[in-house]
Amino acid sequence: MRDHVVLIDSSKDEGGDDLGPAPTELFLAALGGCIMINISRIAGRMRIDLRSVRMKISGMKEHNEHPSSFTELHVNVAIDANTNNNAKLEKLVRLAEENCTVSNTLRKAVVPIVRLA
């Protein structure tokens, strides 16, 4: 992480002090951050002027499994841009996900469900 520091903790309900995100929250944030950076980079190449991009990421876990793991990952992306061409925006999101190192790594274990919201 170069010279960056991240404080990792868990909620008080899970025995932590709630001083920082839990590892699973950082895991989901890493996926979203990777896709978001690619959206920004690829939008420029596609001549899409982004006004705003919002992302909601959630994971479904099997709580009865030990060890627990995510069984589904959902990334919903809402884009406000200089185009209403939904096909072009869907292509942008698809390319961003396909070029994301995090989702490419996860794909071998779980298929992220990434779609334009």
Handedness of CA 104, 88, 74, 29 (dihedral sign): positive
pLDDT digits (tens, 9 = 90+) for 100-117: 999 999 887 767 678 888
The stretch 52-81 carries a mean pLDDT of 89
H/E element holding 12? none
From the list 72, 59, 3, the residue with the least C-alpha distance to 26 is: 59
Q: Are 22 and 9 in contact (CB under 8 A)?
A: yes
- Per-residue model confidence (pLDDT) at position 68: 81
Count of Cβ atoms closer than 10 Å to residue 26 Cβ: 14
* Reported confidence tier of residue 97, pLDDT bands at 50, 70, 90: very high
Domains within the chain, CATH numbers bracketed: 22-116 (3.30.300.20)
Concatenating the DSSP letter of every residue in 81-99 gives ES---HHHHHHHHHHHHHT
The stretch 44-68 carries a mean pLDDT of 89
